[in-house]
Amino acid sequence: MKNILIAVLILAIVACAPVRVNYDYDKKVDFTKYKTYQYYGDMKTGLSPLDTKRFLDALDAKLAAKGLTVSDTPDFLIDIKSSQFQAAPRQTVGVGVGGGGRNVGGGISIGLPIGQPNLNREITIDFVDDKGIGLFWQAVSESGFKQNEAPEKREARLNAIAEKVLVAYPPKE
């Protein structure tokens, strides 16, 4: 029974793919002057319409918590792009053949992938000051996802991505 519980715990940890985020920004920018934002009108997120709405709602809530508001005359614009890619399976089974004797050895081994290939999504978020300096802050997130996931789980994952992406905004010098 104890072994089954440990196995279930390990599977639960492996199933919750982490969200990895890389940030970049212009060090010369005064981030305190940016108080209002708007999304690009012709933005093509690469997400489904429902996922786009879920993600924008999550971003709006996180940005509001940071004191930023949506405006028709924004200080900066937000552009979002995403792409999907298939990552190589991380789990493999090693099969080896070896032999030797009299101080002579040799061997051959191969790794056989097990399980399904991983489907990942990369989401790039750009903050752009179109009245001046252009792109001034960018976050690129990468996380696993399942296309047939329930709406509640999709919303939770997109909320987690928005949370993790905006942790580093504004940057602390």
In a domain, 95, yes or no: no
In a domain, 30, yes or no: yes
Q: Is the pTM of this model over 0.85?
A: no
Query: Which tokens belong to 155?
Result: 């919303």
CA distance 152 to 155: 5
Q: How many domains does the chain have?
A: 1
The residues pairing with 77 across neighbouring beta strands, listed in sequence order, are 38, 128
The residues pairing with 144 across neighbouring beta strands, listed in sequence order, are 120
In a domain, 96, yes or no: no
Strands across the sheet containing 76-87: 20-25, 134-144, 118-129, 76-87, 36-39, 69-70
In a domain, 34, yes or no: yes
CATH number of the domain to which 80 belongs: 3.30.160.670
For residues 161, 38, 30, 142, the Cα torsion angle rounded to the nearest 10 degrees is: 20
In a domain, 102, yes or no: no
Query: Which tokens belong to 126?
Result: 């750009």
For residues 55, 45, 78, 167, the Cα torsion angle rounded to the nearest 10 degrees is: 40
Backbone phi, psi, residue 66, to 5°: -90, 5
Segment 68-86, tens digit of pLDDT: 999 999 999 999 999 887 7
In a domain, 79, yes or no: yes
What is residue 13's predicted lDDT score, i.e. its pLDDT?
42
In a domain, 1, yes or no: no
Domain that holds residue 136: 16-86+117-166
What is residue 86's predicted lDDT score, i.e. its pLDDT?
74
Residues 141, 161: contact at Cβ < 8 Å?
yes
What's the Rg (C-alpha) of the chain? 22
Q: Digits of tens for pLDDT over the chain (173 positions)?
A: 665 555 444 434 444 558 899 999 999 999 999 999 999 988 899 999 999 999 999 999 999 999 999 999 999 999 999 988 776 555 555 555 556 566 655 556 666 555 555 788 899 999 999 888 899 999 999 988 777 889 999 999 999 999 999 998 999 86
In a domain, 173, yes or no: no
What is residue 28's predicted lDDT score, i.e. its pLDDT?
92
Could you report how far apart the first and last alpha carbons of the chain are, in Å?
51
